[in-house]
């Protein structure tokens, strides 16, 4: 049965990359197997042991339930809460059988990394005919992953963790795993998601310092950091697509190049959300009400193009989103959830959990990762797995 659970978790990870809602099927299978297997006494013992780790997720979920009592759109609120059920039930499933997954840690990491690389190669395969057909940007950003409905930012976030996992496998098992970092690095560069690129360079610096300073090789450590910074700046300066994604946005210019349109939409979205926050700072607008209110305010303020974007259903900042939707209580529950990540990384002295915390927190400054299944499942799955791993088999990176 240990192997069955590990296989299902691998299915969840594989599905996570290929479609936004594809992980639902293996998660349902996971729940069915969990129920049929029984072993209630053993599972309950594990749940009680890890009880404190559930609290941040439970509070976050319950605040959304509270927001349903004053929302102007109950049907949207119900849809939003149903989407967030994974925050309530998935941690219970994972923590209750967590020790059974620990022996398969290496294989689970390998499957996740391999899936990202296969997705990257598939993207290149589909981009080639698009490029030949005249799309000069076929190998970049949304054009690269146009065959799927996945957003570049989420794929870049997965690849970032893939780099950290590759490093961890290299330290724990074989230096050959460092080879896997190269395709993951290239994939993130081609996705040109601004926030994730910043995380990438930060992550590389952090890993480099962690590895060499811990071994008291200070010259190599500092020299490597200087090299990473220089290469990062040169990449953003010299690669046109990266330059457009950073400097044209920072200077508030718009560049159109073969369907490539760059503009700083997030600033406008945050302004609209902030106006609503000032009106209702304590309670917010209510669970599920955000998308309709954003569209209404975009029209009122003259942001016609934003109002027409049907895919724009959040403010692209998880913390502002929580304050906008659920007021002060929503913001505090969100901050508690993220702060708990860093606290658990500190308590368990887990390098990999700290990296996950850093990726999720920085990414949440420009994305609402807890408003989509792609973000929720990724957040909960690795949070639970890394913590159970630390409890059962502490890792010492040497």
pLDDT tens across 75-114, in order? 889 988 988 999 988 999 998 888 888 888 899 999 999 9
Ranking 165-169, 290-294, 298-302 by mean pLDDT, the lowest is 298-302
Residue 93's φ and ψ, nearest 5 degrees, are -60, -45
Q: Percent of the chain scored above 70 by pLDDT?
A: 84
pLDDT class for 322, splitting at 50, 70, 90? Answer: very high
Token digits for 8? 């299902």
Rounded CA-CA distance 214/247 in Å is 36
State yes or no: pLDDT of 362 exceeds 70.
yes
pLDDT class for 389, splitting at 50, 70, 90? Answer: low
CB–CB of 241/233 below 8 Å?
no
CB–CB of 315/307 below 8 Å?
no
Which one has a higher pLDDT value, 84 or 249? 84
Mean pLDDT score of the chain: 83
CA atoms within 13 A on the CB side of 155: 32
Instruction: Report the pLDDT value the prediction gives residue 123, as an integer from 0 to 100.
Output: 95
pLDDT class for 218, splitting at 50, 70, 90? Answer: low
pLDDT in tens, 20-76: 778 889 999 999 999 988 888 888 888 888 888 889 999 999 999 999 999 988 988
Instruction: Report the pLDDT value the prediction gives residue 245, as an integer from 0 to 100.
Output: 58
Rounded CA-CA distance 350/342 in Å is 10
Residues 6+ apart with CB under 8 A from 9: 30, 101, 104, 108, 381, 385
Instruction: Report the pLDDT value the prediction gives residue 308, as an integer from 0 to 100.
Output: 66
User: What is the pLDDT averaged over residues 199-226?
Assistant: 73
SS (H, E, C) 170-198: HHHCCHHHHHHHHHHHHHHHHHCCHHHHH
Instruction: Report the pLDDT value the prediction gives residue 264, as an integer from 0 to 100.
Output: 59
Residues 6+ apart with CB under 8 A from 73: 286, 288, 289, 292
Q: Percent of the chain scored above 90 by pLDDT?
A: 35
CA atoms within 13 A on the CB side of 167: 21
Nearest to 164 by CA among 394, 353, 364: 353
State yes or no: pLDDT of 214 exceeds 80.
no
User: Given the structure tokens 């998660």, which residue do they identify?
Assistant: 27
Token digits for 371? 């408003």
pLDDT class for 251, splitting at 50, 70, 90? Answer: very low
Ranking 83-87, 114-118, 254-258, 288-292 by mean pLDDT, the lowest is 254-258
Ranking 57-61, 257-261, 340-344 by mean pLDDT, the lowest is 257-261
Instruction: Report the pLDDT value the prediction gives residue 333, as an integer from 0 to 100.
Output: 95
Most confident of 11-20, 94-103, 121-130: 121-130
CA distance from start to end of the chain:
32
């Amino acid at each position: 049965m240990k192997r069955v659970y590990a296989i299902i978790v691998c299915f969840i990870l594989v599905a996570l990359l290929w479609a936004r809602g594809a992980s639902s099927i293996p998660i349902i299978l996971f729940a069915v197997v969990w129920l049929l297997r029984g072993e209630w006494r053993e599972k309950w013992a594990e749940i009680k042991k890890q009880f404190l780790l559930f609290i941040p997720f439970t509070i976050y979920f319950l605040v959304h339930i509270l927001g349903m009592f004053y929302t102007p759109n109950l049907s949207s609120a119900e849809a939003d809460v149903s989407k967030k059920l994974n925050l309530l039930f998935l941690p219970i499933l994972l923590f209750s059988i967590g020790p059974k997954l620990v022996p398969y840690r290496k294989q689970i990491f390998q499957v996740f990394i391999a899936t990202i690389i296969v997705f990257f190669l598939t993207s290149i395969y589909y981009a080639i005919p698009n490029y030949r057909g005249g799309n000069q940007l076929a190998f970049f950003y949304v054009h690269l992953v146009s065959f799927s409905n996945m957003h570049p930012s989420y794929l870049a976030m997965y690849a970032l963790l893939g780099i950290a996992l590759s490093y961890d496998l290299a330290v724990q098992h074989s230096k050959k795993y460092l080879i896997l970092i190269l395709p993951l690095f290239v994939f993130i560069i081609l996705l040109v998601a601004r926030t994730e690129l910043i995380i990438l360079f930060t992550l590389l610096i952090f890993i480099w310092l962690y590895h060499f300073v811990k071994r008291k090789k200070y010259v190599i450590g500092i020299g490597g950091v200087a090299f990473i910074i220089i290469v990062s700046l040169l990449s953003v300066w010299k690669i046109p697509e990266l330059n457009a994604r950073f400097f044209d946005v920072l200077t508030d210019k718009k560049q159109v190049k073969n369907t490539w349109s760059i503009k700083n939409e997030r600033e406008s979205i945050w302004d609209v959300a902030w106006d609503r926050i000032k009106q209702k700072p304590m309670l917010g607008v209510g669970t599920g009400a955000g998308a309709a209110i954003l569209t209404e305010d975009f029209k009122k303020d003259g942001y016609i193009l934003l109002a027409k974007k049907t895919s724009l259903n959040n403010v692209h900042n998880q913390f502002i989103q929580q304050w906008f939707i659920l007021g002060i209580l929503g913001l505090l529950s969100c901050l508690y959830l993220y702060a708990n990540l860093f606290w658990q990384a500190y308590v368990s002295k887990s390098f990999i959990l700290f990296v996950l915390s850093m990726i999720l927190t920085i990414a949440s400054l420009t994305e609402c990762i807890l408003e989509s299944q792609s973000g929720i499942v990724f957040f909960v799955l690795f949070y639970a797995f890394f913590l159970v791993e630390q409890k059962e088999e502490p890792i010492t990176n040497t």
